[in-house]
Chain A
Amino acid sequence: MKCIQIVAALVLLSACWKPVDFREKERPMKKVWGNKPVYAAMNTAKQITFLVQKQPLHKAGNIYAIGNYIFQVDVGRGIHVIDNSDPVKADRIGFLTLNGCEQISIRGSYLYTNSFADLVTIDLSNPTRPIEISRVPNAFPEMAYNYPMAQPAETGYFTCPRTDSAVVGWIKDSIHATCFK
């Protein structure tokens, strides 16, 4: 077992950000306890909505400051809007759901971010009601399979995700392991 893990770890390291399939003979024959992807159809996963209430933070990501606002990426899930007009009381006030999101930059009233491989422009004229106004599909092709949710957070066995759907979460289950990290 240890040997399989080492081999798998080496293979994984050689291609850090790409899920790696086991070769047939290295794959555990029996079902093992591991992570299974939760899929959403790509077009559903790419829909953007704005929640006007504070949301819990899952995985803290990049931050960006402009005017009285701070934006913090929730890696792979979206962007928290933080009202910083009084830093002592600053708090999250809303959440832009944006699956596959990792990066953020702002100029004027436009926020530029990524949803998987797409470059998305968000109108922030009203920072408490941000809306998508344009999208460049497949702007960063590498991010199509190298997005934050493409692998489970923890190490161990997992089912290699399909690439025609978006992974929006991972659940523990008894699986036929095809990947390891």
Chain B
Amino acid sequence: MRPKLAILISGLLIIATTLFVACTKDGTASNASTGKGGSLTRFTISGDHLYVVDNHFLYAYSLLNPQKPERVYTSPLNFDIETIYPFKNYLFLGTRTGLYVYSIDTAAKPRLIGEARHARSCDPVVANDSVAFVTLKGSAICGPATSGLYINDITNINKPILRKTIELPDPVGLGLQDSILYVCCGPAGLKVFNVKQPYSPTLISTAMDGKYVDVIPYNGILICFVEDGIILYDITKPDLPQKLNKIVN
């Protein structure tokens, strides 16, 4: 069994490596493909820049020479930053006091253009053209906000408006595929919402295969970061995730 598996894996690796090399070979610095991260991240790449937040600073690193990132921007921020999420020419910063929107029209000089304050809490963000979905998790450390899904109208990006709140137990990371929103609620499951009408979402189902922390919808697969590893779902039909695999110890 073992040698067979090893041969299979090395076979896959060779194929994958060839593909990987083939795909990246002709990529120059500015059109190299970026992968996809979760919603709980503090590192994100948009265009030719890597944006990083630690608790109190926003940094931009130029990747014009991708082998040697160079710091081009540092800004001290007076709020506790939790997460960073890129969308088009914007960065959404989820902080303990609210949602902050930065314009990166000038990539090396992010500019604060909008904010929606909320009660103190922890909060990852995902967004589409007109709506930003935020989860807030109230706790002793994060603050007293009501835990749940907060849906902000960002039609006017300078002025996000909170339109709808849905109470949820311990919400953490979230991901958006078409009009389906996946919200991780730890041991309370993975909530699947239809958000076609973003301000009146409907709960379609709840998956209970692990303790969900974060998700990435990627190429028809929903990659879930669970407390003991990863669970993969087929989301060819985004509203009907089908479990494919669990990668745990």
Give the complex CA separation of A17 and B23 in angstroms: 41
A66 close to B (CB within 8 Å)? yes
B34 close to A (CB within 8 Å)? yes
Contact B245 A107 (CB under 8 A): no
Asked if A139 meets B71 with Cβ closer than 8 Å, knowing A84-B221, A109-B24, the reply is yes
Give the complex CA separation of A62 and B63 in angstroms: 22
Contact A108 B32 (CB under 8 A): yes
Q: Can you name the residue of chain B whose Cβ is closest to the Cβ of A17? A: B55
CB distance from A133 to the nearest CB of B (A): 5
B197 close to A (CB within 8 Å)? no
B9 close to A (CB within 8 Å)? yes
Asked if A57 meets B12 with Cβ closer than 8 Å, knowing A105-B44, A108-B24, the reply is no
Give the complex CA separation of A90 and B9 in angstroms: 10
CB distance from B141 to the nearest CB of A (A): 6
B214 CB contacts on chain A under 8 angstroms? 62-63
Per-residue contact bits, chain B 24-65, to A (CB 8 Å; 1 contact, 0 not): 100101001111111011111100001010111101010100
Give the complex CA separation of A16 and B19 in angstroms: 45
Give the complex CA separation of A56 and B247 in angstroms: 11
A67 CB contacts on chain B under 8 angstroms? 16, 19-20, 23, 33, 35
Q: Give the contacts of A78-123 with B (CB-CB under 8 A).
A: 82-93, 102-110, 112-114, 119, 121, 123
A179 close to B (CB within 8 Å)? no
B140 close to A (CB within 8 Å)? yes
Q: Can you name the residue of chain B whose Cβ is closest to the Cβ of A90? A: B245
A114 CB contacts on chain B under 8 angstroms? 43
Name the interface size band of chain B. 35 or more
B87 close to A (CB within 8 Å)? no
SS of B interface (majority): mixed
CB distance from B61 to the nearest CB of A (A): 7
Q: Can you name the residue of chain B whose Cβ is closest to the Cβ of A125? A: B21
Give the complex CA separation of A11 and B54 in angstroms: 21
A47 CB contacts on chain B under 8 angstroms? none
CB distance from B205 to the nearest CB of A (A): 20
B1 close to A (CB within 8 Å)? no
Contact of A103 among B16, B42, B63, B71 (CB under 8 A): B42
A16 CB contacts on chain B under 8 angstroms? 141
B56 CB contacts on chain A under 8 angstroms? 142
CB distance from B156 to the nearest CB of A (A): 29
Asked if A68 meets B19 with Cβ closer than 8 Å, knowing A62-B41, A119-B69, A123-B67, the reply is yes
Give the complex CA separation of A119 and B70 in angstroms: 10
Contact A82 B66 (CB under 8 A): no
Contact of B45 among A82, A107, A109, A113 (CB under 8 A): A107
Give the complex CA separation of A67 and B21 in angstroms: 11
Give the complex CA separation of A108 and B140 in angstroms: 40
Contact A63 B230 (CB under 8 A): yes
Q: Give the contacts of B47-97 with A (CB-CB under 8 A).
A: 50, 52, 54-57, 59, 61, 63, 66-69, 71
Asked if A65 meets B43 with Cβ closer than 8 Å, knowing A13-B140, A108-B33, the reply is no
Known: A93-B9, A126-B17. 20 other contacts (CB 8 A): A57-B228, A57-B229, A64-B37, A65-B219, A66-B34, A69-B20, A84-B232, A87-B232, A90-B232, A90-B247, A91-B247, A102-B42, A107-B32, A107-B33, A110-B66, A110-B67, A125-B20, A125-B21, A134-B67, A140-B57
Ranked nearest first, the 3 interchain pairs of A and B with the lowest CB-CB distance are A66-B35, A108-B32, A105-B43
* B residues at A contact (CB < 8 Å): 9, 12-13, 15-17, 19-21, 23-24, 27, 29, 32-38, 40-45, 50, 52, 54-57, 59, 61, 63, 66-69, 71, 140-141, 213-214, 216, 218-219, 221, 223, 225-230, 232, 234, 244-245, 247-249
Q: Could you write out 5 A-B pairs with CB less than 8 Å apart?
A: A85-B12, A87-B245, A105-B45, A112-B50, A127-B16
